Amino acid sequence: MTTSGLNSDFDTTSQGPLVDPFGRQVSYLRVSVTDRCDFRCFYCMSEHMNFLPKKEVLSLEELDRLCSAFVDHGVKRLRLTGGEPLVRKGILSLISSLSRHLDSGALNELTITSNGSQLKNMSKDLASMGVKRINLSLDTLQEKRFTEITRWGRFAQVMDGIEAALAAGIHLKINAVALKGVNDDEFDDMIRFAHERGMDLTIIETMPMGEIDGDRLDMYLPLSQVKQQLAQSWELEPIPYKTGGPASYMRVRETGGRVGFITPLTHNFCESCNRVRVTCTGTLYLCLGQEDAADLRAPLRASESNDLLNQAIREAISRKPQGHDFVIDRANNRPSIGRHMSVTGG
């Protein structure tokens, strides 16, 4: 990965905003609160996963303190992920506590990525705590296919969760992973389903992360092909809309709704990257598609003061790379990144 533009005089002691060596301000933090999930989507993880022991996972209080440290450094957008974040015991108490940063104006947005399984019972509480937007992972609208993809998921439960979230006033964005030979006949239906309910749809190329039971290469579908397919049914208009994430958006003229495309393999989206990820163990990953990381759990637990934590954060940001190295290893059929997406957080 090229390092052109790297500032060798990077300041790791400043208490101001987090600016990486390429001049990009880190204002978006994604935090995995658990590696556990109540689904076992076959493109994401093995059906028989070994999850982390409790002692390695940050407590809710530690997660609050860590997130708040980033807010103090100018992070404006915070997303809680997993695994499935809403299966973490006590998660609503953490969200309620973090919402104080919304009330103070220090944080602009507190969002969640979810599979929808818990939304029927939690949507009202989430809305009352200031969660206005949720990214919901849904790869099919066919119940039998949903069971095949998720292995353990219940389709009706997710549909009920969608209705509950919308009724609570939460804006939903549907994230669908494009899987060749699995759901590539459904994108027209998914556009209709999402746009009829006022939801955006984002289609994502499969990411080569973690060993799975099947062959990821067999499922890889370039989104250039998806766009060609959609263009046969819809008139797609490029728009400048951005949410702070890596998706590029187009408007579907016939519905007025938006459809986004995330292309980590066919198009590198790193030039404006403003985000970093922290795992539930306190490991800070500077890039989803790189292995370089920093341990924040040790300084977090070493002192009640945030001095060591702040130093570790800023030192890590000084190493943030210019871009990722995602690639499908066709010769060895191996993921380019060994860790599962559920470990890093979606």
190 is in an annotated binding site: no
Instruction: Output the six-digit token pair for 79.
Output: 């997303």
pLDDT band at 69 (very low <50, low <70, confident <90, very high): very high
Does the pLDDT at position 162 exceed 90? yes
41 is in an annotated binding site: yes
pLDDT of residue 292: 81
Q: What is the pLDDT of residues 267-277, one digit of tens each?
A: 455 566 788 99
pLDDT of residue 279: 96
Cis previous bond, 83, omega within 30: yes
In a domain, 13, yes or no: no
DSSP 8-state symbol, 33: S
In a domain, 59, yes or no: yes
Residue-level length of the chain: 346
CB 203 within 8 Å of CB 232: no
CB 186 within 8 Å of CB 142: yes
Q: What is the pLDDT of residues 186-242, one digit of tens each?
A: 999 999 999 999 999 999 998 754 454 555 577 889 999 999 999 999 999 999 988
113 is in an annotated binding site: yes
CB 118 within 8 Å of CB 156: no
pLDDT of residue 11: 53
In a domain, 15, yes or no: no
55 is in an annotated binding site: no
Spell out the residues 6+ positions from residue 2 whose beta carbon is closer than 8 angstroms to its own.
322
Domain with 227 in it = 28-344
151 is in an annotated binding site: no
If DSSP codes are grouped into helix, strand and coil, which group holds residue 64?
helix
Does the pLDDT at position 89 exceed 50? yes
Q: What is the pLDDT of residues 189-204, one digit of tens each?
A: 999 999 999 999 999 9
Element (H, E) at 196: helix 187-196
What residue has token string 């009352």? 128
In a domain, 168, yes or no: yes
273 is in an annotated binding site: yes
pLDDT band at 49 (very low <50, low <70, confident <90, very high): confident
**Residue 190 burial (C-beta neighbours within 10 Å; 0-12, 13-18, 19+):** buried
Half-sphere exposure of 318 (CA within 13 A, CB side): 14
253 is in an annotated binding site: no
CB 1 within 8 Å of CB 325: yes
Q: Mean pLDDT, the chain, as a whole number?
A: 87
- Minimal CA–CA distance to 116: which of 75, 68, 82? 82
In a domain, 83, yes or no: yes
173 is in an annotated binding site: yes
The CATH number that applies at residue 314 is 3.20.20.70
67 is in an annotated binding site: no
pLDDT of residue 310: 97
Does the predicted TM-score (pTM) go above 0.95?
Answer: no
DSSP 8-state symbol, 25: B
**Alpha-carbon distance 269 to 267, whole Å?**
6
In a domain, 49, yes or no: yes
pLDDT band at 50 (very low <50, low <70, confident <90, very high): confident
- Minimal CA–CA distance to 38: which of 173, 179, 150, 161? 150
270 is in an annotated binding site: yes
Element (H, E) at 136: strand 133-137
- Domain total for the chain? 1
314 is in an annotated binding site: no
pLDDT of residue 337: 43
If DSSP codes are grouped into helix, strand and coil, which group holds residue 172?
strand
- Minimal CA–CA distance to 78: which of 43, 109, 35? 109
Spell out the residues 6+ positions from residue 43 whose beta carbon is closer than 8 angstroms to its own.
149, 177, 179, 206, 212, 214, 216, 219
Question: What residues does 191 pair with on adjacent strands?
Answer: none
In a domain, 60, yes or no: yes
In a domain, 14, yes or no: no
Strands 200-205 and 236-238, sheet pairing:
unpaired
DSSP 8-state symbol, 329: B
